[in-house]
Amino acid sequence: MMNLFLLAVLLCAAMFMIAMCSDRYQQKMAAGRPASLWLRAAGWGLLALAAFPAVWEWGVSIGLSLWLGMIGFASFCSTLFISFREKTAS
């Protein structure tokens, strides 16, 4: 159960970092600062790193399937957070 929570946290952080690198969200959230390479690299690194707890706990076949499914959940959560943040920032 704890590995599932760890997987969700890592994937949500990764998807939020990757989303913050896009020009659309960069202008709205970070006051127009240019997207940095380290933020994009950290997001992709966390995305790859998150596969290890899933594979460790549930094996390769189920772990990677769960990892892919949780990527969709993490994308949804980060999109909701960014959408909520945009409305409250104005």
Distance (Å, rounded) from C-alpha 68 to C-alpha 65? 5
pLDDT in tens, 72-81: 999 998 888 8
Residue 22 identity (one-letter amino acid): S
Instruction: Please give the pLDDT value at position 76.
Output: 92
Instruction: Evaluate if residue 28 carries a pLDDT over 80.
Output: no
For the entire predicted model, the pTM comes to 0.77
Backbone angles phi, psi at 88, to 5 degrees: -80, -20
Distance (Å, rounded) from C-alpha 58 to C-alpha 33? 40
